[in-house]
Amino acid sequence: MMKKPLWFAHRGFSGQYPENSPLAFQMAVEETHVDGIESDVHISKDGELVIMHDAEVDRTSNGSGFIKDYTYEELLQLDIGSWKSPEFAGQHIWNFDQLLDFCKETKVLLNMELKNYEVFYEGLEQRVIDAIVAHDMVDQVFVSSFNHISMQEFKRLYPDIKTGLLYDKPFLDIDKYIERSNADNMHPRYMLLQYQPELVQLYHDRGMKVNTWTVNDEENIRDMIQRGVDCIISNNADILCRVADEMCGE
Ligand code: G3P
Ligand code: MG
């Protein structure tokens, strides 16, 4: 049997349900046995931490425009289910507290991605820290971002929460780059580990976990397990669990 990585449902069970919706989170827990959920957070006009992938609501709701230009009350009016299929109409955006409550209650891990690379939300790091601490979930949540300056700041503000550097393109001298970082983990897009197979060992030698995404098909899930990654994030939590159980045992 291979080493068992952690399994994560990307934006909830987004392969089957509307991404980052309450239904997608519930179904990840009810219909699969993932260890955790990955999700994305922004800040509304009136300072609420809200759960959505894009900085704009257009793609995954019946509204249009930037999250930062809407109040939380306005965002609550949006339907975030029917874009996927009419049968999912009536899903409404969650705030970060609701997602934390859900993860606490269902005892799943949470990888919270700070979406601060298009809109640079002031104070997002401290707001996320305060919510995690208030829920007493420091050991149940780890964060990540494509904005590595944000992750540096996050770790400086609160060293007890694990941080990760997301990236989706090959770097020159990544070993030197990560020496300058205080991050705990690396979050590479999975094909980068196929392009540079030596990276898994390099990160492990530095004591960093390798949490990879978004691995949706059986062949690449198998490949990532064989490469010894620590966490696999997938839209298809059902396929992920089936393949992983087969290779690593339940
Ligand atoms: O956290 C992994 C993955 O979610 C990063 O990219 O664009 O799907 O949020 P994205
Ligand atoms: Mg994400």
What would the pLDDT profile of 212-249 be if each residue is shown by its tens digit?
A: 999 999 999 999 999 999 999 999 999 999 999 999 98
* Ligand 1 pocket test, candidate residues 39, 210, 213, most atoms within 8 A of CB: 213
Task: Report which ligand 1 atom has the smallest distance to the Cα of 111.
Answer: 1
Report the amino acid identity of residue 211.
N
Give the residues across from 42 on adjacent strands. Answer: 50
Dihedral sign for Cα 108, 38, 232, 129, please.
Answer: negative
Q: Is residue 235 part of a domain?
A: yes
Q: What CATH number is attached to the domain comprising 154? A: 3.20.20.190
Element housing 18 (H / E):
none
Q: In terms of C-beta density within 10 A (0-12 exposed, 13-18 middle, 19 or more buried), how is residue 160 classed?
A: exposed
C-alpha 240, offset from chain centre: 16
Would 226 be classed as within a structural domain?
A: yes
> Would you say residue 126 lies in a domain?
yes
Confidence at 250, pLDDT banded by 50, 70, 90: confident
- The domain of 243 spans 6-53+94-248
Q: Is residue 211 part of a domain?
A: yes
Which ligand 1 atom sits closest to the C-alpha of 233? 2
Q: Please state the domain count of the chain.
A: 1
* 135 within a domain of the structure (yes/no): yes
Q: Which numbered ligand comes closest to the C-alpha of 234?
A: 1
Distance 11 CA to ligand 1 centre (A): 8
Instruction: Evaluate whether 2 touches 248 at the Cβ level (below 8 Å).
Output: yes
* Ligand 1 binding pocket, CB closer than 6 Å: 10, 38, 40, 53, 113, 144, 166, 187, 213-214, 233
Mean pLDDT along residues 19-36: 98
Q: Percentage of the chain with pLDDT > 90?
A: 98
∠ CA 190-155-109, rounded to 5°? 55
- 210 vs 4, which has greater pLDDT? 210
Whether 68 is covered by a domain: the verdict is no
pLDDT digits (tens, 9 = 90+) for 110-141: 999 999 999 999 999 999 999 999 999 999 99
pLDDT in the model for residue 3: 86
Which residues have a catalytic role annotated? 10, 53
pLDDT tens string 50-102: 999 999 999 999 999 999 999 999 999 999 999 999 999 999 999 999 999 99
Residue 143, token pair as written in the block: 């964060």
